[in-house]
């Protein structure tokens, strides 16, 4: 009996804590801060021309005609999926009210590795939209059989369909050499020719979404001619537009929980990331999540700054996981210079960083590579956009040296790299490391 009572008490405790977390949350409608949420027209900011264009291109679907193919291109987070999904949702609702059989079939090509897999995903999504059985197995039948099933579903259930291929440029397939046709080229050719070749009864249009403005250059000539899209260009958002985006989603939070300055600060961080709306919305949401985790009743600038630091750390960790130990050591040695320096240093002299690297290799009993190897590792780090480099002269007859500045906060980079198993021992030697860093800096600037 006692065990049963204890179990019941534990269950009530868990339920109580869950309910308390919901009741005390700073959020009112967190779903509004899902970057891929289909939102109302009045929440769309800074995309009037793109919205007008896509409305114009999709209007024929409501008039019994075929919409043109479209190519939406621009940097990540600039509203391509947002606008396309919002307009398609409205077309779908209007078509249903008129008893028109209009369908929207969407796949994200980011994780699709082959043409065959892309076709099967189209079959799955078409079947779901039509509420019918998929009708073909994922393996054991040819791609043509899957494509025929896709066309069959469309013919039987829709008069007009738009197929949305998000991040289409990532569907390259298994190319044996640079001259092989990418998978997206073959798929675009097949889909854009389906109506003309009588493969479907009705209309099929394709909207391809890409970050690559040169996408059309890589298409096979036949695919380019057949696809022949209307272009819709999406530029970066500026800081004011990012503020407006958040302003129109602030009702995701409860009234009065957002302190002054939260929205401008979030927008300023995202503007540094080339105006990515997904990142500003993500940051805006994470600030609230941090407030909830800490049991705070309001969202402050500190929460947003911590959210930005978490985002930097997550991004940096993901990028750095594949680096070799020597490359991590080189990057870590460079990052700790501004972290431990008693001077205000924006750019790290390569001479100082290499000497710190030498100290670290000795401390960790690791192989010490040459200065040229260090510079080569840092050049690679620059290609990954971890750092930026510049050459600086040291006066007449003293030559030039490289200086490195970090794209992310050096402290975040150092902390992320320190979690590597080979660098864990450094944490207990921070006083010695700080002494080495400042000795090398003093020596460097004294010698100028």
**C-alpha to C-alpha distance for 290 and 295, rounded to whole angstroms:** 9
Q: Any residues with CB less than 8 A from the CB of 242 and at least 6 apart, and which?
A: 266, 267, 270, 271, 275, 277, 280
**Contact assessment for residue 242 and residue 271, using Cβ atoms and an 8 Å cutoff:** yes
What is the model's pLDDT at position 271?
82
Q: Where in the chain do CATH 3.40.50.300 domains reside? A: 47-233
The domain 322-446 is classified under which CATH number: 1.25.40.340, 2.30.30.30, 1.10.10.10, 3.40.50.10860? 1.10.10.10
Q: Distance between the two ends of the chain, CA-based, in angstroms?
A: 80
How crowded is residue 87: how many other Cβ atoms within 10 Å of its Cβ? 22
Q: Where in the chain do CATH 1.10.10.10 domains reside? A: 322-446
Give the DSSP H or E segment for 393. strand 387-393
**Tokens 């805006």 identify what position?**
284
Predicted confidence pLDDT, tens digits, the chain (448 residues): 456 666 666 666 766 656 655 578 999 999 999 877 888 888 889 999 999 999 999 999 999 899 999 999 998 889 999 999 999 999 999 999 999 999 999 999 988 989 999 999 999 999 999 999 999 999 999 999 999 999 999 999 999 999 999 999 999 887 555 567 889 999 999 999 998 888 998 999 999 999 888 888 878 889 999 999 999 999 989 889 999 999 999 999 999 999 999 999 999 988 876 678 888 999 999 999 999 999 999 999 999 999 988 887 777 777 777 788 899 999 999 999 999 999 988 899 999 999 999 999 998 888 999 999 999 999 988 888 888 998 876 544 455 778 999 988 898 888 888 877 677 777 767 888 999 999 999 988 886 5
What is the model's pLDDT at position 1?
47
Instruction: Report the phi/psi class of residue 131: left, alpha or beta, with left for phi > 0 and alpha for psi in -120 to 50.
Output: left
Helix axes 371-383, 325-340, angle to 10 degrees: 90
Q: Any residues with CB less than 8 A from the CB of 444 and at least 6 apart, and which?
A: 349, 351, 352
pTM of the complete model: 0.70
Q: Where in the chain do CATH 1.10.8.60 domains reside? A: 238-319
Give the DSSP H or E segment for 209. strand 203-210
- C-alpha closest to that of 104 among 131, 79, 135, 126: 126
What is the model's pLDDT at position 409?
83
CATH number for the domain running over 47-233:
3.40.50.300
Report the residue count for the chain: 448
What is the model's pLDDT at position 76?
86
What is the model's pLDDT at position 273?
65
**C-alpha to C-alpha distance for 230 and 219, rounded to whole angstroms:** 15
pLDDT digits (tens, 9 = 90+) for 187-202: 999 999 998 888 998 9
CATH number for the domain running over 238-319:
1.10.8.60
**Tokens 């990540």 identify what position?**
76
Distances from the Cα of 200 to the Cα of 121, 153, 191, 229, angstroms: 18, 9, 10, 20
Compute φ and ψ for 206, nearest 5 degrees: -120, 135
**Tokens 């391809």 identify what position?**
208
Structure tokens that stand for 335 in this block: 């990052």
Structure tokens that stand for 365 in this block: 């009993």
**C-alpha to C-alpha distance for 400 and 402, rounded to whole angstroms:** 7
What is the model's pLDDT at position 20?
59
């Amino acid at each position: 009996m006692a065990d049963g009572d204890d179990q019941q008490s534990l269950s009530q405790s868990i339920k109580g804590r869950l309910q308390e977390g919901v009741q005390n949350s700073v959020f009112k409608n967190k779903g509004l801060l899902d970057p891929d949420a289909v939102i109302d027209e009045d929440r769309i900011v800074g995309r009037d021309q793109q919205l007008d264009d896509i409305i114009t291109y999709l209007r024929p679907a409501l008039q019994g005609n075929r919409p043109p193919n479209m190519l939406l291109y621009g940097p990540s987070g600039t509203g391509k999926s947002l606008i396309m999904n919002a307009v398609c949702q409205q077309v779908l609702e209007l078509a249903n009210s008129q008893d028109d059989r209009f369908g929207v079939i969407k796949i994200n090509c980011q994780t699709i590795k082959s043409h065959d897999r892309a076709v099967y995903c189209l079959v799955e999504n078409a079947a779901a939209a039509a509420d019918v059985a998929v009708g073909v197995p994922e393996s054991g039948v040819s791609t043509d059989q899957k494509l025929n099933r896709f066309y069959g579903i469309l013919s039987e259930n829709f008069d007009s369909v738009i197929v949305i291929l998000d991040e289409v440029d990532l569907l390259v397939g298994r190319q044996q050499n640079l001259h092989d046709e990418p998978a997206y080229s073959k798929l675009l050719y097949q889909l854009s020719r389906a109506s003309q070749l009588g493969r479907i009864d009705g209309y099929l249009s394709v909207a391809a979404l890409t970050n690559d403005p040169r996408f059309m250059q890589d298409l096979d000539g036949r695919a380019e001619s057949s696809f022949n899209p209307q272009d819709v260009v999406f530029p970066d958002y500026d800081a004011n537009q990012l503020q407006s985006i958040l302003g129109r989603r602030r009702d995701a939070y409860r009234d009065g929980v957002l302190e002054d300055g939260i929205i401008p600060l979030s927008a300023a961080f995202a503007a540094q990331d080339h105006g990515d709306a997904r990142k500003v919305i993500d940051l805006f949401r994470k600030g609230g999540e941090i407030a909830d985790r800490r049991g705070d009743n309001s969202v402050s600038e500190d929460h947003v700054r911590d959210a930005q630091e978490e985002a930097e750390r997550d991004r940096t960790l993901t990028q750095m996981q594949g680096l070799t130990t020597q490359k991590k050591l080189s990057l870590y040695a460079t990052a700790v210079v501004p972290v431990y320096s008693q001077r205000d240093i924006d750019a790290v002299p390569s001479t100082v960083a290499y000497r710190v690297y030498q100290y670290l290799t000795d401390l960790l009993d690791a192989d010490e590579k040459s200065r040229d190897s260090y510079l080569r590792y840092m050049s690679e780090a620059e290609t990954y956009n971890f750092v930026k480099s510049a050459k600086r002269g040291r006066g007449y007859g003293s030559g030039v040296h490289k200086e490195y500045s970090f794209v992310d906060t050096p402290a975040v980079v150092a902390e992320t790299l320190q979690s590597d198993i080979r660098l864990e021992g450094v944490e207990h030697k921070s006083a010695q490391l700080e002494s080495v860093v400042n000795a090398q800096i003093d020596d460097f600037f004294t010698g100028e």
